[in-house]
Amino acid sequence: MAQSPSGAVDVPEPLHVVSGFGAADVAGAARWTASDTEPVLCCLCHVPGSPVMAVPPFGVVRCPICELVFVSPRLSAVALQRMYDDPAYFENTVYGDPVGRSPAMILQRTWTAGRLAGLLERRPPPGRLLEIGTGYGYFLATARDAGYRVDGVELSRAAAAHARDRLGLNIFQGQLDEAPVGDPPDVICFWDTLEHVPDPLEFLRAVRSRLADDGVVALSVPSFASPPARLLGARWWTLKPEQHIWLFTPTTLRLLAARAGLVITSVATSPLRRSNVGRTDSLVAFGRALPLVDR
Ligand SMILES: [Zn+2]
């Protein structure tokens, strides 16, 4: 594995295809040092994880209780915002190809069609759809064209401005908990976003609290149970420990969702499924709100 002079690992990314919030590998990942990082606990069990592998200045650890895998130490909140505000984060990605002839953009279209088909089947329009982590707004614009009333939330100022100005989408730039609460969405989706958020349990609870009681959730995340993740270790091209700070398996995702009041009803991992085509290391999940009951 390539090591930069600072000791940081250059994670190879042969496909250069990552959808949603993620983008191509972040230029200058090697710029991070231990002073940019902080240790964290498992978001479910509030205990430190046991080491799985070291990718300096980061570590990948597994919770000894629930087996959720996460990055600790990881980038501090300040360093994370700095990264997402850097225009280089979205450069040279599918989002920079509005003409849409690149293989990456064709894949993006296929994923969008497959994911939208999953939503149309479970909760057809009209209805309100909220996407969290809209990136440049490609999926959200397609959902709007399919008949949903759409809103988006995006942390990156550059991406949010693009989606607003070029596609005419209603995007709140910031964190989900700061976004205005309107009518409960019938659908909340977040593609390749959950692995980026500081606290995924808090994030999913916020999703549940906003979602209509008969609403549908849909998401994708890198899968730590996938063959590339299991076989390649620190050389797994989607590891990206500066950005992907929670690493889910279908089991830990279901557990986390349940703790947040959501039930995962289907998980697709096959690279032959349209919603996930060509991706050997990610999963696409659909779910519903669990009824809120007094205990
Ligand atoms: Zn745990």
* pLDDT for the residue numbered 91: 55
Q: How far is the CA of 135 from the centre of ligand 1 (A)?
A: 29
What's the whole-model pTM score?
0.85
Residue 186 scores a pLDDT above 60? yes
- Are 289 and 212 in contact, with CB atoms under 8 Å apart? yes
253 vs 226: CA distance, rounded Å = 14
User: pLDDT tens for residues 27-59?
Assistant: 445 678 999 999 999 999 999 999 999 999 999
Q: How far is the CA of 126 from the centre of ligand 1 (A)?
A: 39
Q: How far is the CA of 196 from the centre of ligand 1 (A)?
A: 17
* pLDDT for the residue numbered 6: 38
Q: How far is the CA of 277 from the centre of ligand 1 (A)?
A: 31
Q: What CATH class does 29-289 carry?
A: alpha beta
231 vs 266: CA distance, rounded Å = 25
Q: What is the mean pLDDT of residues 252-260?
A: 98
* pLDDT for the residue numbered 215: 97
User: pLDDT tens for residues 55-87?
Assistant: 999 999 999 999 999 999 999 988 887 887 776
- Are 132 and 193 in contact, with CB atoms under 8 Å apart? yes
Q: How far is the CA of 238 from the centre of ligand 1 (A)?
A: 22
